Each structure stands twice: as structure tokens, then as C-alpha cells.
Structure 1
Amino acid sequence: MDGLLISRYADKERSGALNTWTGYEDIGHVFCGKTLTADEYYRVEDRYVDFGRDLFSRFEVEKLQVRALTIGEPLPSWLGFLRAGVVLSRETSLLLVRQMLRYGNPSCSLVSPEGLSLSVATDMYLSVEVPGELSVLEELVDRSALRRDIETIELPDSADGTIDNRADSSFWESVRSATLKGEVAVLVCWGNGRWGQQWHLVGDGTVECLADVISPGMAVVAMVGARIEWCPRATIIDRISEQIGDEASVVVFNRPVVGTELSFELFLGGIVLQDMESLPSGGELGWIEYPAGTEDGRALCVVQADSSGDLVCRWDSDLNLVW
């Protein structure tokens, strides 16, 4: 499918032949003998957001769903609990576009029921596709004083290879049964990235507390076949290295004080070269090998459906949010 890649860059700037600024962090820096001021940056940023507003108005878009969400850093409080699959108003979507342009976090696509899609790529590029002919979209770009390129957009049009199991009553009953043998670590994901997930420690009597807060689109991984290892903080790095090696992905956490949420650190590249300061606080810490797939017998992996039984998000077996 063809869409448009939209930016402020002229041909020489886009090709790299002419040095130019590419984002908010460049304010105060000099490009081609001219300092980028905050006023100039905000003026250009407004052009992008105004284009989005015109785009939504032209196609009569009032609601957009968050897809392919990645959260690399903590989000500002005004965004609330942003998760994949949630539906935003037009104005909130425009605020999110501004956030992504300025800070690059989060990253997502905004998709309307009519098939319009808008996402912010690196270096202040907008990737846009619309139903029907591109001529209407090209007209909006030209009017905005931005520039455009045709790009081919590959959309995931198949659910093959994604998790299809639902977080139904039988799943939670399986988790509850597993807690009779000991505590179970449960991973809840609502987006890609470190800040799009939360680990929980559930035991007999606390499973329902977690089940009640799972929203549509979330992936839930219950490590029913994996044993949680607990050991003193001073020895945990050596213990992990001895048992699974230095390079296996691992999650390290402490015991929750209240509720089920764990304070955790995720080491996707393994525990190699890590020091004590990188670990969570606490005298006794637990760890578990990160579930790099759901077909090894250690995990039950499901996705929470919406009220009609549909999956508003798709996750693959490596817990990557596909859409």
C-alpha cells in the first residue's frame, strides 16, 4: 500500500547534502550559520500538528486507536495510562502527535475506523496513509508548506504467528492452581519497551486482584512452569551467571510491599557487566529468566479481548506488539 512520508525537509536536507536540524533537542545549535531558536522550532512543529488537524477534519475522523505502541521512557502524567488498543479523541491524538514530534516517546500509529493511519517517525517525519486516492492527501500536504515523498507501507494483514489465546476464566483458574505450589511471576504488557510492561508476583488469594485490572489488548504471561529464585542481593549476579550464564535475558525484582506489582529491572542483554547499582533495592532479590517465547512449557500467554470477544491488539510469541 502506498502512503506519504511527510517532512519539513527540502531535497538537499533530506539527502544529507545540507546540514539541518531534525528535532527539539537541536534548539540553540547552529545550522548553516543560523541558530535554531525555540520560536522557530515551535513554528515548524505547529505546521505538523496543523497538518494533522486538517487531515482528521478532511476525512471526518473523530476517534483514533493507538497501535504499535512503544514506550521507552516514563510518560508525562497528562497522557494517563496510555496502552495499545485504547481509543483517543481527535484533540488528544493531536496532543500525542506533538509529544512524539518533540520527544520521540512514546512511538505509535494512530488509526481511524475508516482506515486512515498517522505515525511519527525518527527526525520529524510523518508517515500517513489514507483510504482511496492519494491526491487528496497530496493537496493537504502542499497547503501545509510541508514536503512529501511516496512510500510503500507494509501492513500486517495476517494474524499468523500471533497469540490467539484469550485471558478467560480458564486461564486465570490455571494461574490460581499454579499458586497452590508457590508464588507465580506474571508479566503484563500494554506496549513494547521497558515502560510498556509490569511484572507482578501473585499467590493464592491475589490472582483476582490482578485479573480485575487487565484491560483489552494487554498481553499476560504467567510463568507457571518457572521457578522464582530468591537470594541475597550481594550474591545474585554470581548466582544468575552460574545458573543461566551472563548473556541470557533476565528479570530481577524485589518483593512487593503492598499489592502484586514488583519493582524490577529487565536485562535483555544478560547480567554481564552489570553492577550492584543497576539492581532493584532490597536485601533479598528474586530473578527469573525472561520469557523469550511462549512455547517452552514455562509460560501461559494470553491476550485480553474486548467486550465482544475481539482482540484489539496482536502480540507475537516473543511478546512484541505487532499491531
Structure 2
Amino acid sequence: MAEFRYKITKYDPRFYSGPGGAYTRDEWTSFSDIGKTFDGVELTREAYERIEGLYLMAVRTGLEAAGIEQLRVRGLEDHGDAPDSLTEGKPVALPEAVEICRALLREAGFWCRLEDGDRAYVHVGYDYYLYLGTPVDVGPALAPIVEAGLFVEAGFTSPYIE
């Protein structure tokens, strides 16, 4: 599945306790953390939305650079809050895929994978991890996201691949 694979996060890789280890800094991991304090700084909605916007930009930029215009909803888990229009196997154009990712990042009461067969995927994981798989190297297109403060690790396969 997807020849080029990326893990995209707000977490600095220098602060993991060894390969596959725990993250050692106190940082927010969820939309529900707005208003809480981390490392002496309160997470404001504005600060949250800045980071969320970078994640969504990574999805849009990465898929556009790969020429992916549509994905399909896979593995839909509806915990009571999925939009009625969201169904298993539904094709979603890139703008809708980005909005689905926003809802997933905000833990909006449903979960799914977004995939284009074996060519591409976007998976939003637990604790604010994003996985992007594409048929071409989109690393250079993601450079502005890195410059803005996110971390892009190439060669990292999503743990949500079936």
C-alpha cells in the first residue's frame, strides 16, 4: 500500500525515549485539552486551531502533490455522531476529505480511514498522529509544513493499515 509513507505530528522526535519509546514532554493530545495547561502554558483555541490547520494543510498539500483527488471511507466506526452522509465506501473529494480529517482530529464521535485502494491513504490516529501514504514522494511539498512547526517522518507506515 502506498509506496511513500509519512508520519506527521506536532511532536519533536528528539523527545521520544528511544526507538518506539514514549514521548517525554507534557503536551496536549486532543481538542478536549483546550483550556488546560501544558508545560506552564495554557492551550488556547487559537493555538489549537493553528496546529490543526497545519495538519489539514499537510493532508491537502500531500494529496494534491500526489495527484490524489478522491479517497474512500473505510473502516467507519460510528459512535453516534457521524454525519448521515458518511457511509462505508463513500467516495470523498479532497475538500471533504480534509473536513473529515478535521472532525477526526477533534474526536467528533466517529472514526474512519480515508484510502484510495493501494495508492494512497490518510489515517488520523490516537493522540494527534497523522499518517499519509502516497504513490509519489511528496516530502518536498510538505517542506512548508515542517517550516511552520510540524514534524514529517518519512518511511513510517500507518499502524491502521489492514
Asked if TM exceeds 0.5, the reply is yes
Match of 1:31 among 38, 44, 50: 38
How far, CA to CA, are the matches of 1:93 and 1:26 in structure 2? 24
Q: Does 1:129 align with 2:130?
A: no
Residue 157 of structure 2 is aligned with which of 138, 152, 158?
152
Matched, 1:8 2:10: yes
- Distance, in Å, in 2 between the alignment partners of 1:18 and 1:5 is 19
Task: Map Cα deviations across residues 93-139 of structure 1 (whole Å, 9 max, x no partner).
Answer: 1110000001253211111257111110011111111114xxx3322
Alpha-carbon RMSD: 2.1
Whole-Å separation in 1 of the counterparts to 2:127 and 2:108 = 9
Aligned partners of 2:30 and 2:127 also within 8 Å: yes
SS at match of 1:151: coil
The higher-RCO structure (CA 8 Å, 6+ apart) is: 2
In structure 2, the residue matched to 1:105 is 109
Q: Are 1:13 and 1:20, in contact at CA under 8 Å, matched by a contact in 2?
A: no
For residues 26 and 13 of structure 1, the distance between their equivalents in structure 2, rounded to whole angstroms, comes to 20
Q: What is the match of residue 70 of structure 2?
A: 63
- Give the structure-1-normalised TM-score: 0.43
> Quick one: distance in 1 between partners of 2:134 and 2:5?
7
Q: TM-score normalised to the size of structure 2?
A: 0.81
Name the count of aligned residue pairs: 150
Corresponding residue of 2:19: none
* Equivalent position amino acid for 1:65 in 2: R
Q: CA deviation at 1:45?
A: 0.4
The aligned residue for residue 142 of structure 2 is 141
List 4+ stretches of structure 1 deviating above 4 A.
153-156
Aligned mate of 1:84, from 84, 88, 99 = 88
| Consecutive unaligned residues in structure 2, runs of 5 or more | 17-21
Residue by residue, what CA displacement relative to the aligned partner does 1:282-322 show, whole Å, maximum 9, x if unpaired?
xxxxxxxxxxxxxxxxxxxxxxxxxxxxxxxxxxxxxxxxx
Q: Output one character per residue of 1:61-102: Cα deviation in whole Å (capped at 9) or x when no partner.
A: 222111121112322xxx333111111121111110000001
Letter in 2 for 1:142: A
The answer on whether the counterparts of 1:6 and 1:141 sit within 8 Å (CA) in structure 2 is no
Identity %: 24
Aligned residue for 1:47, secondary structure, equals helix
Once the two structures are superposed, the pairs formed by residues 301-320 of structure 1 within 5 Å of their partners are none
Distance in 1 separating the partners of 2:158 and 2:37: 34
Q: What are structure 1's unaligned runs of at least 5 residues? A: 157-323
Map of 1:21 onto structure 2: 28
Using the alignment, how far apart are the partners of 2:109 and 2:123 within structure 1? 12
Q: 1:153 to 1:98 in 2, by over 3 A?
A: closer
Q: Using a 3 Å threshold, how does the CA distance of structure 1 residues 63 and 71 change in structure 2: closer, same or farther?
A: same
Farther off after superposition, 99-108 or 136-145: 136-145
Alpha-carbon separation, structure 2, partners of 1:152 and 1:5? 7
Q: 1:36 to 1:12 in 2, by over 3 A?
A: farther
Match runs of 1:197-208 below 5 Å:
none
SS in structure 2 at match of 1:103: coil
Kindly provide the amino acid, as one letter, of the partner of residue 39 in structure 2: C
Q: How far apart are the structure 1 equivalents of 2:69 and 2:77?
A: 23
How many Å apart are 1:16 and its aligned residue?
Answer: 2.4
- Tell me how far apart the structure 1 counterparts of residues 106 and 158 of structure 2 sit (CA, whole Å): 24
Letter in 2 for 1:91: P
